[in-house]
Chain A
Amino acid sequence: MRLRIGIDTGGTFTDMVVIDEHGKVTTSKSLCTPHDYTICVEACLEIAAEKLGITVEEMLNQTVSFAYGTTIGTNAIATRTGAKTGMLTTSGCRDVLHIARGLTRWSGLPESDTKHMAATVKPEALIPKELTREITERIDSTGQVVCGLDEEEVKQACKELVEQGVESIAICFLWSFRNPEHEERAQEILTNLYPNIYSSTSHQVIPLEGEYERFITTVLDNYVGPKTKNYTTLLSSHLKRMGLKVSLLLMQADGGIAYADTVQPVASVHSGPAGGVLGAQTIGKLLNYKDIISTDVGGTTFDVSIITNHEVTYSREPRIEKFNTLYPTLDIISIGAGGGSIVWTNPDMKSLHVGPQSAGSSPGPACYGVGGTAPTVTDACMVLGYLNPHSLNGGRMRLYKEKAHEAFQEVADVLGMDVVEVAYGAYEIITAKMSDLIVGMTVRKGLNISDYILLAFGGGGAMHVARMGTMLGAKKVMVPASASVYSAMGLATSPIVHTYQKYDYQMLPITADTLNRNLGELDRKINADFERDGIPEKDRQISFYADMKYSLQINAVTLEIPRKKVYTEEDAAKLADLFDTAYAKMYGEGSGYPAAGRAVVSFMAKGKGEIYPFKLSASVSEHVDASQALSGQRQAYFKDTGFVNTNIYSYERLKSGNKVEGPAIIEAEDTTMLIPPKFVAEVDAYRNVVIEALV
């Protein structure tokens, strides 16, 4: 039996999924052990092996792919406990990280927070000036050497930095992506002198224009590099000893996995959320939903990402904390709206607001009974009868309905409304905010929401998703089976992904030679990677892209270029039309300005390699009647009906093919699904719950 394993370390839990070659899925879960993550990984392995009725060694022996999502890098940045990092940079650029283009005070903050100038602070730079050394060297925008590299200065700088105790040195020169000569030579000098110092160069980490973003991405790589490398080496040897025969794969923020020793450490930062998107992509492929809006309602945030034609979307402005980076990262937009969002009122105005402040998990919603007194969205769902009044998480957590009521009473008194009216208002407001975000994201990309299926991950999403669907005009919404382990599922089912980019700013028309030279180079790099990975040619799927723009305009469009071995002049000539069409689709007719000329900014190649084809086992569809899963009734509140008697179903007892008509509530271990009146839910062959409006 060949097994695929995916393990994802989250904030609290480590989740694991094992899929066998028949598509049978086994899951396990354990509490994270931040002091040594190998412990929780081992715990997960043991539980899963036990469920499979084999030993850990037997399980690992049969494993053909072992993919892991780590938070080591993310945590190192969040707690500022990364490596002591030094930096070599071009003369005149010492303060690039300190100036940070002036934007780190507000970057990534919600609009409302940016307006409050007195409360925004520019964060400290990751590398102090004492650990930054300017090097005499200069290359211009065409790649010409203006001033040669002063090698003695490099030696001296390295020596001083090492004496100051740095563990890694980032090498960041201007225009290195045009001409990497100086960065390469400086790194060579460093490695010859100090082979144990971790070092990456900016052109190697991300060969794109924009020194602030390229430098900070490289510095982050050096900051998390030593820790990430040490840990994955440790875990690899650990797993090997336990019986794993294949190399460890790591999750990357671009939504792909790759062998740990080939992963650029910065790529593993923020890979966690990418796992969930991969999970959504997996479902899409399995069920043939090519267009998906994946949503996740957690305690404090609402995260959205979009999959179009089975392809994930990359962020145009990736960011790690307040640092704008350049590394390919999935586009996941987040706002402060979740189960813990606080419902509040301004007594003078008799107005009602929800969030963005959150009660988080401590003190938490009032109904958790752990000290929270402010009403939250979760409390609203409790008042409205959506949540089980006694317990959550399959009975592991007690809830207190009366505390939710009490919490809302004060707001209700101020507004002169009753508690239920206010709670439903809060539910509507937060759901409208979530919908507004999705509208903005789709409109700005020229997408049509009605083509998309809405997926709800996270503990809270399933209570909002049907209502959101109505607000958005989405035809179908779905709550995936065992939503909480979907990140791990995404890992277990993902192909290996290699992405390369090359900057080559050129005005159109370009020659066939430009296409062949650039794309050929990227193609060779990817194929070399797959060679090393042992992925046969037939299992490689390589796509080419070009980032193009109108010369006066700043925004680029990523255009897919059909892959060819050799491009002709005719192919090159077609680019202009392809680009015009794509631009108009994305930004609207007439928004481009072709008279000023079109330019290619950079090329990209993305390769996907299937390690081992997977499938999931589908259940045979049984009867429509869901009565075997009916566990009771309670009063729940809906917009047009007020409180009505509502059937409660147990997700565990529902079978594929079962249909549940709204109003109804389906309680699963980690989520609660709301089926409003005039909606129907159906359990599909993979136990996903699909909710549609009755026509």
Chain B
Amino acid sequence: MVEKTKLDPITFEILRHRLEEIVAESYYTLARVSGNAVITEAGDHEESIMNAMGDTVMVGGGIVEWTGCLEDAARYISQEYEDNPGIHEGDQFIMNDTGIAAVHHMDIQVLKPVFWEGKRVAWLNCAGHMMDVGGMQESGFVFGATERIQEGLCMKGVKICEKGKIRRDIEDTLKYMTRQPDLFMLEIGARIAANNAAATRLLQTIEEFGIDKVLAIFEELPEYSEKLIRAKLRTLPDGVFRATHHFESIREDEGYLTVKCALIKEGDSITLDFTGSSPQSKGSQNVALPGARSNAECPFLMMLGYDIPWNYGLWGVINWVLPEGSIVNPSPLAPVSTNTPAGAGYVMIGTVTDCISQMYLCSDRTEEAYANGGNAFHNPNMYGTGKRGEFFITMMMELMICGGGALAYRDGDNTCSNLWTTKPQVTNIERAEEHFPWLYLWRKEAMDTGGPGQYRGGTGCTNAIISYGIGEMGVHDMGLGMEPRLANGLAGGYPAPNVKQIVYRGANLKGMFENGQLPRTPDDIPGHREVKPLLHSFTLNPEDAYVIYFGGGGGYGDPLQRDPEAVVKDIHQEYVSFEEAKRTYGVIVDPDTQQVNWEETRNLRQEMIQERLTLGKRE
């Protein structure tokens, strides 16, 4: 038997850093080559290196919610396609099957096997969101789907590159099956280029250090991550931590759906148990098994694994209970396209975030806990005739600037989501107006949208646009939290308020503009007001206006314990209104001096406590 190479700590550290750089290389290449604003401006992509069998060795930061999926694809291809069609040097494979390896099928992955002296030694994966994947509905989010097959393109690891060249037959097929064939192929090309860039550096590394050492780091790094996470888990209290989140079903006949999570932590083991979650939905908000795990792993990585290399050694410690036939593990035929962001997948992130925060709150590291933020949002997918006459489809990325959840010692960040990506960012108004046929009336921080608490949840945003092109524009709105309040508070903090979207029919603002007037609030907008339900499709005509309120973050602690001076500061910055300062925080602010009226505040807060004691019942 050949003895395994054991790396000395110096080579280990140098190679670990090198692998990080290789993944980063891939990340930057995709961002540079891509033509999709969701990738270049919102960072909706992720890259990884896997061993020859497809187990992840290193993942970069990006959209964390897909991290767990990246290896499922390489494992599947390694297991299924070794003989037919075969896995050879110069091949690349395309995968977006939600039953195997994707959160939703818009997340298109391209995988490249890396060979050294004729032998496969690694896989590289580059994955990113695609704006359209054919199927029944522009954007890939298929509201009316009752079966997965209606949701569009599904590639199960098809060999798209052979001997370094894109296969024409596959290219033509893909182009035929999608609505933006040019952009689609550009995006595939970007992923291929990213994999090639990473492969070049990986091969240079093998040349420099020798294959034995590189294979050794592939094996030792996951072991290292596992040891670190187990050591960290041992320092946290043993217990059962639970969260229940409800959200609206796309199917009116279902009312609402539920994700229930229990985190059981004992010693260095951790179990995520979703027993009690809703049975499989008839609509598209189910999340298939790979996506369910991957979503639930997202807060695990960001809250427990932030200082540990991301690979299967890290998330491999999780034991799973995902009941079959439930919304988090439906039948292979169930539709799943809207599970993220407006369905069970995304909601799982919120429940696990809550559970991990509860665990931290019971420990001596309360600074690691945070309330949920941005769980309630709108994510309008806009499509129609573009400014230059072409078909366009894009996402309004303001969901990236929902509010962040409060922490146990400070307010949540305003207009800066903290739920599912490490690097949120929204497109500039000017960039959007340059490329798409609408005109912004405003994009602002929205008053009274942060969850009340001793520490306030971050404020969400509001925006308003009018159609400013040559025809009508279609909207498929993804969204959650119009009635249920999804961004939970922590330890006495209130959940963040609801989201809302309103269309003003026939507002005909161009006339107003000519008179030298610009609306600054919804009250300034004339026209017939229609509050639009979420997960809904509608059109915007050139004379309509469209106003949206995005969600905030949950609060932390009792709002009656919030420092009245902080409430005053919030009033000055228009984060909180006078009315809510009084009603929710029990703080009276003198409208003339704009300062706290301490005596009245003390009295009011006492009254509010009295009211609690009067109203409250024992169960």
Nearest Cβ distance between residue B407 and chain A, in whole angstroms? 7
Q: What per-residue 1/0 map shows which CB atoms of B1-29 lie under 8 Å from chain A?
A: 00000001110111001101100110011
A175 at the interface (CB under 8 A from B): yes
Q: Is B227 an interface residue (CB 8 A)?
A: yes
Q: Is the CB of B182 within 8 A of A130?
A: no
Are B430 and A103 closer than 8 Å at their CB atoms?
A: no
B332 adjacent to chain A (CB < 8 Å): no
| A121: Cβ under 8 A from any B Cβ | yes
Q: What string of 1s and 0s marks CB contacts (under 8 Å) between A104-126 and chain B?
A: 11100001101111110110000
Choose among B201, B227, B433, B468 the residue with the greatest number of A CB atoms under 10 Å from its CB. B433
Residues of B within 8 A of A443 (CB): 25, 197, 200-201
Q: Are B415 and A415 in contact (CB under 8 A)?
A: no
**Interchain CB contact under 8 A, A105 and B416:** yes
B414 to chain A, nearest CB (A): 7
Is B431 a contact of A209 with CB atoms below 8 Å?
yes
Alpha-carbon distance between A122 and B8 when the two chains are bound, in angstroms: 40
In the complex, which residues of chain A have a beta carbon less than 8 angstroms from the beta carbon of B520? 91-92, 134
The 8 A CB mask of A348-369 against B (1 = contact, 0 = none) is 1111111000000000000000
Interface string of A330-364 (1 = CB under 8 A from B): 00000000000000011011111110000000000
Binding-face segment, B236-244, B317-325, B367-375, B472-480: B367-375
Among B17, B189, B422, which residue has its beta carbon within 8 angstroms of that of A117? B422
Whether A352 contacts B443 by the Cβ 8 Å rule is: no
Please, which residue of chain B has its CB at the minimum distance from the CB of A437? B21
Q: Are B418 and A174 in contact (CB under 8 A)?
A: no
Which A residue's beta carbon lies closest to that of B433?
A141
Q: Which residues of A contact B306 (CB under 8 A)?
A: 115-117
Which residue of chain B lies nearest to A352 when distances are taken between CB atoms in the complex?
B9
On whether A440 and B231 interact (CB within 8 A), knowing A102-B400, A129-B573, the answer reads no
Task: Please measure, in the bound complex, the distance between the C-alpha atom of A429 and the C-alpha atom of B418, giving whole angstroms.
Answer: 33
CB distance from B98 to the nearest CB of A (A): 26
Once the chains bind, are A102 and B416 in contact (CB under 8 Å)? Answer: yes
Q: Does A1 contact B (CB under 8 A)?
A: no
**In the complex, A147 has a CB within 8 A of chain B:** yes
Q: How far is the CB of B468 from chain A (nearest CB, A)?
A: 7
User: Using Cβ atoms and an 8 Å threshold, which residues of chain A touch B401?
Assistant: 99, 101-102
Which of A475-483, A565-573, A588-596 faces chain B? A588-596
CB-CB contacts below 8 Å: B172-198 with A: 182-183, 185-186, 189-190, 193, 196-197
- Tell me, yes or no, whether A539 is within 8 Å of chain B by CB: no
Q: Is the CB of B196 within 8 A of A588?
A: yes
Q: How many whole Å from B151's CB to the nearest CB in chain A?
A: 25
Q: Does B425 have its Cβ within 8 Å of any Cβ on chain A?
A: yes
Task: Tell me whether A93 and B415 are in contact in the complex, defined as CB-CB below 8 angstroms, given that A129-B572, A588-B193 are known contacts.
Answer: no
Q: With the chains together, A439 CA to B388 CA distance in Å?
A: 40
Q: Does B483 contact A (CB under 8 A)?
A: no
Do the beta carbons of A138 and B197 come within 8 Å of each other? no
Closest Cβ of chain A to B20, distance in Å, is 7
Q: How far is the CA of A595 from the CA of B35 in the complex (A)?
A: 12
* Docked pose: A174 CA to B433 CA in angstroms: 10
| Residue in B closest to A431 when the chains form the complex, CB atoms | B14
A505 at the interface (CB under 8 A from B): yes
Give B231's nearest chain A residue, CB to CB.
A348
* Interface presence of A188 (CB below 8 A): no
Indicate with 1 or 0, residue by residue over B393-433, a CB within 8 angstroms of chain A CB atoms: 00000001100100100100111111000111111111101
A91 to B517, CA, bound (A): 10
A461 to B427, CA, bound (A): 40
Interface-side segment among A238-246, A546-554, A664-672, A675-683? A546-554
**Contact of A349 with B224 at beta-carbon distance under 8 Å, contacts A425-B9, A552-B183, A590-B193 already known:** yes
B27's nearest neighbour on chain A, judged by CB, is: A111
Contact with B along A370-403 (1 / 0, CB 8 A): 0000000000000000000000000000000000
Measured between beta carbons, the chain B residues less than 8 angstroms from A349 are: 224, 227-228
Binary per-residue interface labels of chain B (22-42) against chain A in the complex, 1 for a CB within 8 Å, 0 otherwise: 001100110111110100110
A111 touching B61 by the CB < 8 A rule?
A: yes
Shortest distance in angstroms between B61's beta carbon and chain A's nearest beta carbon?
5
Check A211 for interface membership: any CB of B closer than 8 A.
yes
> Is A128 a contact of B424 with CB atoms below 8 Å?
no
Q: Assuming the A-B contacts A91-B520, A94-B444, are A593 and B9 also in contact, with contact meaning beta carbons closer than 8 angstroms in the complex?
A: no
- Given A122-B414, A425-B10; A93-B35 close (CB under 8 Å): no
A429 B10 Cβ-Cβ under 8 A: yes
**Does the CB pair A106–B422 fall under 8 Å?**
yes
Tell me if A95 is interfacial: C-beta within 8 Å of chain B. yes
Q: Which of B25, B400, B424, B434 contacts A141 (CB 8 A)?
A: B434
Complex interface residues of chain B between 494 and 525 (CB less than 8 A to chain A): 513-514, 516-518, 520
* Contact (Cβ within 8 A) A101 B24: no
What residues of chain A lie closer than 8 Å to B443, measured between beta carbons?
Answer: 92-93, 95-96, 99
Are the CB atoms of A146 and B415 closer together than 8 Å? no
- Those of A75-100 within 8 Å (CB) of chain B: 91-96, 98-100
- Indicate if B361 sits at the interface (CB-CB under 8 A): no
CA distance A212 to B301 in the complex (A): 31
B297 within 8 A of A: no
Chain A hits for B573, CB < 8 A: 128-130
In this assembly, does A625 line the interface, its C-beta being within 8 Å of a C-beta of chain B? no
Tell which of A505, A591, A596 touches B434, judged by Cβ atoms closer than 8 Å: A505
Q: Is the CB of A596 within 8 A of B35?
A: yes
Q: Does A555 contact B (CB under 8 A)?
A: yes
Q: Are B425 and A130 in contact (CB under 8 A)?
A: no
A55 within 8 A of B: no
B428 contacts A429, CB within 8 Å?
A: no
Q: Tell me the complex Cα distance, A410–B246, Å.
A: 53
Bound Cα distance A675, B573 (Å) = 59
Q: Chain B residues near A436 (CB, 8 Å)? A: 17-18, 21
Contact call B9/A118, Cβ cutoff below 8 A: no
Q: What distance in Å separates the Cβ of B464 from its nearest Cβ neighbour in chain A?
A: 8
Which of B214-232 touch A at CB < 8 Å?
224, 227-228, 231
B441 touches A99 (CB 8 A): no
Query: Given the complex, which residues of B lie within 8 Å of A555, measured CB to CB?
Result: 31-33, 40
Give residues 414-450 of A contacting B (CB, 8 Å): 415, 417, 424-425, 428-429, 432-433, 436, 439-440, 443-444
- Pick 28 A–B contacts, CB within 8 A, sort by A: A91-B518, A92-B440, A92-B442, A92-B464, A93-B429, A95-B444, A99-B445, A102-B426, A104-B416, A117-B302, A117-B306, A117-B422, A118-B370, A129-B572, A129-B573, A136-B518, A138-B513, A174-B429, A175-B433, A209-B430, A348-B228, A352-B13, A354-B13, A429-B17, A507-B388, A552-B35, A553-B40, A593-B182
Residues of A whose CB lies within 8 Å of any CB of B are 91-96, 98-106, 111-112, 114-119, 121-122, 128-130, 134, 136-138, 140-141, 146-148, 150, 174-175, 209-213, 345-346, 348-354, 415, 417, 424-425, 428-429, 432-433, 436, 439-440, 443-444, 505, 507, 550, 552-555, 587-588, 590-593, 595-596
Given contacts A147-B514, A345-B9, 11 further A-B contacts (CB under 8 A): A93-B429, A99-B444, A102-B425, A115-B306, A209-B434, A349-B227, A354-B13, A443-B201, A444-B25, A588-B193, A593-B189
Top 6 closest A-B pairs, CB basis?
A92-B442, A552-B35, A425-B10, A352-B9, A116-B306, A554-B40
Question: A-contacting residues of B (Cβ < 8 Å)?
Answer: 8-10, 12-14, 17-18, 20-21, 24-25, 28-29, 31-35, 37, 40-41, 60-61, 182-183, 185-186, 189-190, 193, 196-197, 200-201, 224, 227-228, 231, 301-303, 306-307, 367-370, 388, 400-401, 404, 407, 410, 413-418, 422-431, 433-434, 439-445, 461, 464, 468, 513-514, 516-518, 520, 572-574
